Amino acid sequence: MSPTSTRHHTTSRAVAGGLTYFAAVMLLIAGLLDFFRGVMAIDHDDVFVSTPNYVFKFDLTGWGWIHLILGIVAVAVAVGLFMASPWAHVLAVVWAGLLLIANFLSLPYHPLWSLVVMALCAFVIWGLCTSGPAGAGK
């Protein structure tokens, strides 16, 4: 290998590692936000907007449990990304997709919060999809 290709390979690995850490931080934040949102919905339903005639209308406590569980698993997957676990890369993309869908479906209940978490999830998916598979280049 020439010095130029070795330098390029090292730079590519550094960028991929940086994007993975970026995605892990974003997933950790999104997971914590969803966890807290779940706690709020379970404990204090009056924090959320009342939305009559919504197609995906659930009891807010039901939405709270959904977000609480999604948030806990998202935090666990983010920890797996920090530890460079092989399972975490793919599961993080899948879980960020589930978080994105859940926040889209609960958009009428807390619009700004849902949009923020949806954006974080989109960044997680982007960061992990552009960094390549876990352990690539080793």
135: confidence class by pLDDT, cuts 50, 70, 90: very low
Residue 108's φ and ψ, nearest 5 degrees, are -65, -25
Nearest to 114 by CA among 20, 51, 22: 51
Cβ atoms of 96 and 30 within 8 Å: the answer is yes
Burial class (CB in 10 A: 0-12, 13-18, 19+), 82: middle
Q: What is the pLDDT of residues 62-99, one digit of tens each?
A: 888 999 999 999 999 999 999 988 889 999 999 999 99
Q: What is the pLDDT of residues 2-61, one digit of tens each?
A: 555 555 455 555 555 678 899 999 999 999 999 998 998 888 766 566 666 666 666 778
